[in-house]
Amino acid sequence: MAVAMVSCGISTSLKLIEKQPISTPGFFNGSLALNPVQRLHITSKRLALAGNGIIPKASAATAVEDGSSQETAVPMPKVVIDLDSDPEATVVEVTFGDRLGALLDTMNALKNLGLNVVKANVCLDSSGKHNTFAITKASTGRKVDDPELLEAIRLTIINNMMEYHPESSSRLAMGEAFGVFQPYQKIDVDIATHIHVYDDGPERSLLCVETADRPGLIVDLVKIITDINVDVESGEFDTEGLLAKAKFHVSYKGKALIKPLQQVLANSLRYFLRRPTTEDASF
């Protein structure tokens, strides 16, 4: 499907993430002996417009008698990073209703991270316009599998979305720190966190995590998993508004996780994810 190449009318420079050289051997090998979040820095930016510089806040749709709405509701922003569907490239899908154009600035920002966008497609359905990129490392021509770089891709896309569509920050967790508008609601991390481990054949298990989104989350999840010697083989990471949903294929010494290890993994992730709002004295 062809991409509608619509150049954005606002020119701005993106300086999102200052990334130091990556010392880890890769996403799916061994343990991550680092503190990755400290190496991700986000520069808060504001969209400068002509006139008085005030951007009207987008409000939720108001129902009227005939079933229509007086104002357009802000759609749900979604960013999907998929390492499973394409063996040669990392697939990234960005959706924000029908408001996204060709995302030329986003593709340029990804190139600045040392990446190549080898394919780009646009699909329109009832849920909105889905912009899909197939991404490889410029240095190797292979798919991206390093957690720090995957997180950099995610934050770059989210920053660009908030830059050119400021109203999206009202529905994104990152909007609290870096957006024009504050998120329309807060999420209780204890209630929002759900962790499940399922058998997925004799050689691997499927780990599903849903929690409140925050910067650095991909790196954090992989570090916690590998710190207990569980290997991450592949996965998918979805940002849906204020929530993050991850699916990882995991194994231990080439085998599926036994029930006691599944419980250890779930408990470790649950403790770590809830820790930001949990006092140490409560344990």
Instruction: Please write the tens of the pLDDT for every residue from 50-74.
Output: 233 322 333 333 233 333 333 468 9
Return the CATH class of domain 78-178.
alpha beta
Asked whether the CA dihedral 57, 62, 67, 73 is positive or negative, the reply is: positive
Domain boundaries, the chain: 78-178, 194-273
Question: Is there a contact between 200 and 206 (Cβ–Cβ < 8 Å)?
Answer: yes
Q: Is the pLDDT of residue 27 over 70?
A: no
Write out pLDDT tens, residues 172-204. Answer: 998 887 888 888 888 888 889 999 999 999 999
pTM, to two decimals:
0.72
Q: What b-and-e string marks burial along 79-100, b requiring 16 or more CB atoms within 10 Å of the CB?
A: bbbbbeeeeebbbbbbbbbebb
* Cα 117 to the center of its chain, rounded Å: 18
Residue 112 pLDDT more than 90?
yes
pLDDT of 276 reads 54
> What is the helix (H) or strand (E) element at residue 108, kind and residue range?
helix 104-111
The CA distance from 269 to 283, in Å, is 16
Q: Which segment, 27-31, 77-81, 185-189, 278-282, is predicted with the most confidence on average?
A: 77-81
Residue matched to tokens 């749709």:
61
CA pair distance 49, 69, nearest whole angstrom? 27
Domain 78-178 and domain 194-273 have a common topology = yes
pLDDT value, residue 180:
84
Q: Among candidates 165, 175, 8, which has minimal Cα distance to 72?
A: 165
DSSP 8-state symbol, 96 = B
Q: What CATH number does the domain located at 194-273 have?
A: 3.30.70.260
93-114 average pLDDT score: 91
Backbone angles phi, psi at 237, to 5 degrees: -130, 120
Sheet holding 231-240, edge to edge: 115-125, 128-137, 90-95, 78-82, 231-240, 243-251, 205-212, 194-199
